[in-house]
Chains A and B, each alone.
Chain A
Amino acid sequence: MRSANIVSGVILIVFGAAMLLVIIPAQIEEGPEGMMSPRLVPQMMMALIMGLSLLLVLSNLRAAPDPDAAPPFTRSELIASAALLGLFAVTVALFLTVGVLAASVVLIVGALLILGERRPVALVLMPLCLIGGAYLLFYRLLGTAIL
C-alpha cells in the first residue's frame, strides 16, 4: 500500500493544482462585489486536498517499505472491472441506439456470461424473470414511467 499511497498522493496533488489553477477559474465566475466568492469553498477544499495529499506522500516516503505487502488490485479484480465496465459501455450504447429492452437483455446475459454462467436455463430465465418482474413492479404496480 506504500507505493499506492505515494502514487495516489502525487496524482491528487497534480489534480488539485489543475483544479485550482485552471478548471476552477475557468468554470466558476467571480461573484458580485461584497459577497462571498462562489469559488471560495471549492478552492478551500482543493487546497485542503493538496495539503493532505502532500502529507500522505511525505509520510509514506518516510515509512519503511514492506516487501510482503500485496498490491491493492489483484489480477482477477482488474479483469472483472474491465469486463463489467466494458459491458456497461455496450449497454449504454445499445440503450441510445436500439432501446431499453435490448440494453437490459445484454446487461443481464452479458454479466452472467462474464461471470462464468453457461447453463442455457439460467441464461434464458434470468433476463425473463428480471425484466418481467421489473415491468410488473415498477410499471404496473407502482405506475412508474421507467419505459
Chain B
Amino acid sequence: MQDLIHGFADVLTVYTLAWICAGVTLGYVLGVLPGLGKATGVAVAIPLTFYLEPVAAIALLIGIAKGSAAGSAVSAILLNTPGEPSSAPTALDGYPMARQGKAQKALKMGLYASVIGDFLSTVLLICLAAPMARYALLIGPVELCAILVFSMTFIGGLSGRSLLKGLIAGAFGVFFATVGLETETFIPRLTFGLLDLDDGLPLVPIAIGMLAVAEMIVQAGNMRQLDRETEQIVDGTRPEDRVVLWSDWKRCFAPILRGTLIGSVVGILPGLGASVGSFLSYGATRRASDRPEEFGTGRIEGVAAAESADNAVVPASFVPLFALGIPGSVIAAILIAAFVLHGLTPGPRMFQEQPELVAAVYAAMLCASGILLFIGYTGQRIFARVATVPVRLIIPVVLFLCCIGAWMETGSIFAIYIMLAFTVLGILAKKLDFSFVTFLIGFVIGPSVELSFRQSLQILDHRWSNLTGHPIALVFIALTAVVLVALARGRSGGGAVGTVRDTGTTITKGRIS
C-alpha cells in the first residue's frame, strides 16, 4: 500500500497525466476505427516512448490499450462493424439500439460498463500478481520450461480456429526468435552474413508489419463495404433515448458485475483473449435473463455484459505477465518490449527489484480508468464522427505512421525491410487462418523457452527419467498432453455463431456457449 501511494505520487503529475490522456485518446480513436486496435496502437507507439520517462512511457501504452478496448464499442454500435473482434457481441444489441435511435444510450452504457470492468479488473491484478509472483520465484528452469510449453500449447490451441495451425504459428514464432547470435556460444544463427541480424529480429517492426500494415492492406481490399456502413447511422430525438436512466442501471448492474468476473478469469488464463470473454459474458447474461429471446433486438444488458467483460480482460491478462513473465495475450507480448526498454523486466523478480516502478504502473492503470471515463464521456460525439471517416483517408495515415514506428526502432532502412517481410507473412497468416497472436507470443517467449530448455538439459543430466524429481514439471507436461487431446476433440464439434458483420479482415464471429 505504501508503494502504491508513492506510485500515485509519481503518476499524479501534469507530465504523466498528459501522456495518459494522450494514450487513452489515441487508443479510443484506434479502437473506433475498424481493424485497428490496441495491439496495433501499442506496437506503433512503442518507438514514440523511447524518449519519454519510464512511468510516462508505460502509462501512455497502457492508456492506448485501455482506450482502444473501450473505443471499439463505438463502431460496433454505430456501424455493426466492431473496432476489435472482442466487441462483436456488443454489436448484437448495440446496433439494433442504434437503429432504434438509441445510439447515445448504448454508447454511454458501453462506456460505463467498460470503465467499471476495467477498474475492477485492475484492482484484481494489484491484489493477485504480487502474491502469485512469490510462488513463481520457487519455480526452477525445468518447471519453467514445462510451463512455457504448456502455455504455448494452450494459446496455440485457443487463439485460432485450427489447433494445428495455431501450433505451427507458435513453432514459427520460436524459430524466428532463434535468429541472431546464440547467447552461450555467440555463434550466429540464420543471419546470412547480415550484421543487422546479429542482435536478432526486432519485435517492433515485426509486430507493426504483421498487425498494422497487413491489416491495412487487407482492409484496402474490403474498403467499399466498410464505407457503405458509415452512411446508415441514425440518431434519436427523444431525450430518454440519449441518456442512461436509473431503470437501465438496475437492469445492467448484475450483467456488468458478471461480465467483469468472467472477463477477469478469461484474462488470467493465457490465450483465451477478450473475444472469448465478451462472448461468454453475453451468453451468460442472455441465459440469466427472463426474456432471452429479446437479446439481439436491442437489449441494453447485452451491451453492458459484453463491454464489461471485454475491458476486464485487458488488466487481468497482465496477471500471468507480471507474476510469471508469460504473456497471455498479444498486447502483453508487445508490452514486454516496452517494459524491458524502460527498465522493467516482467516476471516475479520485478516486484523485488523495481517495486516503485511496479507501483507507478499500477497507479497509472487506475488513473487511466478514471481518464477513460472522462475522455470517453466528453469526447463521445467526436469519437462517433471518427467512425464515419472513410477508410481511404485512414489507411495512408496508418501506413505512414507504421514506417516512422519501424524506422525509429533501429534507425535504419533494415527495420522497414523487416516490417515489409512480416507484412507479407501477416497477410498470409490472416487469410489462411494461421494465428499471428500465437506467432508473436512464441517469438516473445522463444528466448526463455530455449534458455530454460538448455538449463533443464543440464539439470536433468540429459536423462528424461530425472524428470521424476520435478513433479510440478510433470504436472504441466501431463496438462499439455490433456490440453492437446481435449482441444483436438473439441475442434470436431460446432457452436452457434454471432451474426455480426465481418470487418473484412478480422474474425468477428464468436462462439456463444
A residues engaging B (CB < 8 A)?
1, 4-5, 8, 12, 23-24, 27-29, 31-32, 35-36, 38-39, 41-42, 45-46, 48-49, 52-53, 55-56, 59, 72-74, 76-81, 83-85, 88, 91-92, 95-96, 104, 107-108, 111-112, 114-117, 122, 126, 130, 134, 138, 142-146
- Complex contacts, A1 vs chain B, CB 8 Å: 432-433
Tell me the complex Cα distance, A46–B176, Å.
Answer: 11
Interface status of B191 (Cβ within 8 A of chain A): yes
Interface status of B185 (Cβ within 8 A of chain A): yes
- Complex contacts, A46 vs chain B, CB 8 Å: 175
Residue pair A73, B431 in contact (C-beta under 8 Å):
yes
CB B138 to nearest CB in A, in angstroms, measures: 25
- How many residues of chain B are within 8 Å of chain A by beta carbon? 60
Contact of B416 among A92, A126, A138 (CB under 8 A): A92
Contact of A49 among B172, B185, B216, B218 (CB under 8 A): B172
Residue pair A143, B51 in contact (C-beta under 8 Å):
yes
Interface status of B1 (Cβ within 8 A of chain A): no
CB B439 to nearest CB in A, in angstroms, measures: 12
Residue pair A23, B190 in contact (C-beta under 8 Å):
yes
Residue pair A144, B51 in contact (C-beta under 8 Å):
yes
Given contacts A76-B221, A77-B221, A81-B217, contact A38 B164 (CB under 8 A): no
- Complex contacts, A77 vs chain B, CB 8 Å: 218, 221-222, 431
Residue pair A49, B217 in contact (C-beta under 8 Å):
no
- Complex contacts, A36 vs chain B, CB 8 Å: 184, 454, 457
Residue pair B168, A56 in contact (C-beta under 8 Å):
yes
10 inter-chain pairs at a CB distance below 8 angstroms, sorted by A residue, are A4-B432, A28-B190, A29-B187, A80-B218, A80-B221, A108-B396, A116-B223, A117-B393, A126-B393, A126-B396
Residue pair A84, B174 in contact (C-beta under 8 Å):
no
Closest-by-CB residue of A relative to B168 is A52
Contact with A along B262-304 (1 / 0, CB 8 A): 0000000000000000000000000000000000000000000
Interface status of B245 (Cβ within 8 A of chain A): no
Tell me the complex Cα distance, A83–B392, Å.
Answer: 14
Residue pair B427, A81 in contact (C-beta under 8 Å):
yes
Given contacts A115-B220, A115-B392, contact A85 B423 (CB under 8 A): yes
